Structure 1
Amino acid sequence: MEKEYPRPYLGASPRYSFVQSFIAQMSSKVYIMSEHSLSTHEMRLTLAQLDFWEEFSLHPDQPVSTVAHYLDIQGGIDPEALFKAIETTVHETDVLALRFYIPEGQTKPMQHCDPCRLPKLQLIDLQDRADPYQAASQMMQADVAAKLNLLTQPLSVQWLFKLGADRYLWYIRAHHIILDGFGMVLIEQRCAKLYAHYLGKGDAGAPFHSFAQYLDEDQSYCASPRFEKDRAFWDDYLKSVPVALPILHKEDEYYGGEETGLSFEYELPKPLINRMHQIAAQMEMGWPDLLVAISGLYLFYHYRQQDHDGQQALPLWLPFMNRWGSVGAYMPALLVNILPLFIQPKPEATLGETLSQLSCTLRKQRAHGRYRIEQLATDQGLSEGTRYFFSPLVNVLPFDAPEFEGCTVKHQVLASGPGDGFNITYRGRSDAEALILSIDADPSMFQPQEFEQHSQALLAFLEQVLDGSAINIRCDQLLK
């Protein structure tokens, strides 16, 4: 029987992050491991890891798949407790110790946890610099831009910058082959829990599950009836809409060299966020799903205007958390999935009807979201060295900054890996406060003026749709 794990709810409390909620559930367990040992036996790579391995093999000189965050921690900091909390968290996170290698006589890579690869926390004192924050920023940016060899170099660093007696920056960098963005958040939240514990403000909670546990569970999933049901769902879904998904030859991937990508960033105003909450409640859907649906509709009508043949459906790519009901829900690693959502509004349907239909489809897809996009590509006959072209992509990241006892914390994402073509990201707290809209595009696909018009048009569309009176407007009237 498949073991049940806590399943956090992504909606309810406006002041309590679902990540914090999950950690609270885990911490209520009575077991605490006094020693978190690393499993050093040989392990296969997951399908997601193999995709990044192939990227590295084809483009070894491109530092493209780096994920990096930092926390700006200010206040009455206990340096010893902070240092110990970070070190303990790192020791629990066994993927930070992964070493990749190709066994003699074979062509496929394998991996194992090497204790020597665990990153040592480096304390970097910059108090004597004229501008300590600027000095730290330069060091972090240089590290993000550095090349990383998956065969010869450690895959993560942990730096703690001391900018003053009451201010520290904790910098975490890793290759995407071992960590995704949610894995980074788990690390940060776990450290905050341990920091409070070392201050005598609560128990230590449970350590992370091991990567080997996840691999065993994933192998069982692939041999289970659930796997076959998921395969059938996605096969039927792709057949339901006669639209070809775009394909990319990995050897042709271009990472821009010295060329800077196009980007736009805007903090959504409070009145707009309030209306978003009202409409989400009216439609009985979470606000992240509402933003996905609105963005998808905008992109559908935008691309249809560019397509004289009258595009009937738009494949929209969405990252899926792919963790709930699994040991992966409490284990930092690369688990995020990417799956297609077809945007195909009926011209006679109202906006409200279309939003309801998309919300229903998203719920169905999440029930089958463990099925990997790499497996789906194989099922659909994609050859080795190719993958789907994940554009346009919409990502909503409702993550709260961790709460360090007695301190204020600001969370900053420095790198989240490369994107394809055109990407829309909404990043903010779980209650949608301080919600930032980021748009990124490949400069080889868009002229700067076209990109700017695109960005402003999306903002105007958000304003139009989040006007409560738009719910009863027919979809084919939205951009007129």
Structure 2
Amino acid sequence: MIRDQPGLPLTQAQTGVLLGQQLAGEASVFYAAEYTELDGPLDYELFTQALQATLREADALQVRIVEMDGAYRQQRIEHRPPTLAAAPAEQLSQTAFMAELFRQLQQAFNPAAGYLYEHKLYRRGAERHVWLHRAHHLLLDGYGFQLIARRVAVYYEALLSGKPLAAAAFGTLDAILEVDQAYQNSFDREDDRRYWLAELAGLQPKSLSPHPTPGIGRGRRFSGALPDAVCLSLKRRALELELSWPELLIAAFAGYLARYGYGRDTVLGLTTMLRASGAVARTPCSAMNVMPLPFRQVEELDLANAARRLRRDLARHRPHQRYRFEHLEFDLKDAGYPRGLLGTEINVMPFEPPSRFGPCRALTHTLAAGPVEDLAAVFMARGDAIVLDLDGREENYDESTLRRHWLGITDFLAQALESCQSPDPST
């Protein structure tokens, strides 16, 4: 019966994932996952009910991807409630447990069969558990993971307390497709394409690798929380300068790339959620994009003035951020631009996952964020802390090089915060 469905179009984000997967040649590169440590008494049955109810409300996840008449389409499938039997993992060392999570990450999804997500629960102690959530990027991006986690936390709390819970305000698959098709058929799309080609004219990519090889792959990671003193200084400076701390972080990373990178021009790929308002803001789905962010002569500015310029540039760029970076990369190639112009990426995630699930304290970690072209710096708010995940494509960065750059970025940020002056309004 399902096979007789005419099928629905893919969103441009989904089409981009399929295209990237074909270029990468390895499907698991486009699998994303996070795991949440739950410390405290956990009611398995109620937690499972909360997860099942959340997934039932997220109709955009209940699809499969098929080829029909030479094109990819998506078809609706019935919701299949997951079961969470807590797998015993008390005897595993942390190293062995992480190896188990990475093995799970690489278990294949079959887009034609659907159910491109999976949830597992591990028991690490009497009152210590780990919830693993993995999904294909065809279904979920980073913010989509957060929407699922938040709703599960709310459901679980309601079930524990016995209080009624209003239906979720998740957007629907139909609403997502309507928004996506409206943009693809609009005059804005062509205007945005022309804008970016003009904005990037003549630029050459800069990388922290002296000899970056083109391609798409899974990143090698070095991760850690920024020093407390740096986080405190960052947030204090942001208040003093009337800037946001993400603006300071992006400007500092651009300054580091300008000073220590190889190549001619500082251009970042800035991850954008494309969830400012409407149905997309409320829907667990894959919607994120990568917006070009050229920085000219950023090394000549102190951090405050670089961040002020960034704010003005973002105001100018944002109306054009819906144009898909996969299309833009092909446009740039056709126009004779060098490959890898958006290969150095930055993603600042100021939103936080739930810190509690009922009586359980919760701490969420990213296991895999998806593909990397060259290098991706991901800054994530975690309570008062800010975690920096530095993912470098394995062909371009070894572990010691990533560690050196992680420390270098941290030191550069600390020094830039210390030395930045009040902004010059004329800059």
Give the shorter-chain TM-score range.
Answer: 0.7 to 0.9
2:268 pairs with one of 316, 321, 334:
316
Could you say if the C-alpha distance between residues 393 and 57 of structure 1 is closer, same or farther in structure 2, counting changes exceeding 3 Å?
A: closer
Alignment partner of 1:124 is 2:85 = yes
Alignment partner of 1:166 is 2:155 = no
1:365 pairs with one of 317, 326, 343:
317
1:102 pairs with one of 41, 64, 67:
67
Cα distance in 2 for partners of 1:446, 1:128 equals 32
Corresponding residue number in structure 1 for 2:421: 471
Alignment partner of 1:407 is 2:364 = no
1:209 pairs with one of 165, 171, 175:
171
Alignment partner of 1:417 is 2:370 = yes
Corresponding residue number in structure 2 for 1:394: 346
Corresponding residue number in structure 2 for 1:288: 246
Q: SS where residue 84 of structure 2 aligns? A: strand
Could you say if the C-alpha distance between residues 85 and 293 of structure 1 is closer, same or farther in structure 2, counting changes exceeding 3 Å?
A: same
Corresponding residue number in structure 2 for 1:435: 386
Q: SS where residue 359 of structure 1 aligns? A: helix
Alignment partner of 1:329 is 2:292 = no
Provide, for residues 409-443 of structure 1, a one-character-per-residue CA deviation record: whole Å limited to 9, x for no partner.
Answer: 111211111212122221223x6x22122223234
Moved more, 278-287 or 331-340: 278-287
Cα distance in 1 for partners of 2:30, 2:289 equals 15
Corresponding residue number in structure 2 for 1:301: 259
Cα distance in 1 for partners of 2:154, 2:190 equals 39
Cα distance in 1 for partners of 2:62, 2:351 equals 26
Give the TM-score taking structure 1 as reference length.
0.76
Cα distance in 1 for partners of 2:394, 2:42 equals 43
Corresponding residue number in structure 2 for 1:271: 229
| 1:4-43 matched pairs, under 5 angstroms | 42-43=7-8
2:47 pairs with one of 78, 82, 86:
82
Could you say if the C-alpha distance between residues 345 and 450 of structure 1 is closer, same or farther in structure 2, counting changes exceeding 3 Å?
A: same
| 1:216-235 matched pairs, under 5 angstroms | 216-224=178-186, 226-227=188-189, 230-231=192-193, 233-235=195-197
Q: Return 5+ residue gaps in structure 1 as ranges.
A: 1-39, 247-251, 475-480
The structure with the largest strand share of the pair is 2
Shift of 1:186: 0.4
Give the TM-score taking structure 2 as reference length.
0.84
Could you say if the C-alpha distance between residues 70 and 301 of structure 1 is closer, same or farther in structure 2, counting changes exceeding 3 Å?
A: same
Provide, for residues 422-475 of structure 1, a one-character-per-residue CA deviation record: whole Å limited to 9, x for no partner.
Answer: 22221223x6x22122223234334665554433332221121010x333799x
Q: SS where residue 296 of structure 1 aligns? A: helix
Could you say if the C-alpha distance between residues 202 and 228 of structure 1 is closer, same or farther in structure 2, counting changes exceeding 3 Å?
A: farther
Provide, for residues 353-401 of structure 1, a one-character-per-residue CA deviation record: whole Å limited to 9, x for no partner.
Answer: 2221112112332333223223434555649xx9855321111122323
Shift of 1:348: 5.8
1:99–1:154: 8 Å Cα contact kept in structure 2?
Answer: yes
Identity %: 27
2:296 pairs with one of 317, 325, 344:
344
Could you say if the C-alpha distance between residues 68 and 269 of structure 1 is closer, same or farther in structure 2, counting changes exceeding 3 Å?
A: same
| 1:35-54 matched pairs, under 5 angstroms | 42-54=7-19
Shift of 1:141: 2.1
1:160–1:169: 8 Å Cα contact kept in structure 2?
Answer: yes
1:390–1:419: 8 Å Cα contact kept in structure 2?
Answer: no
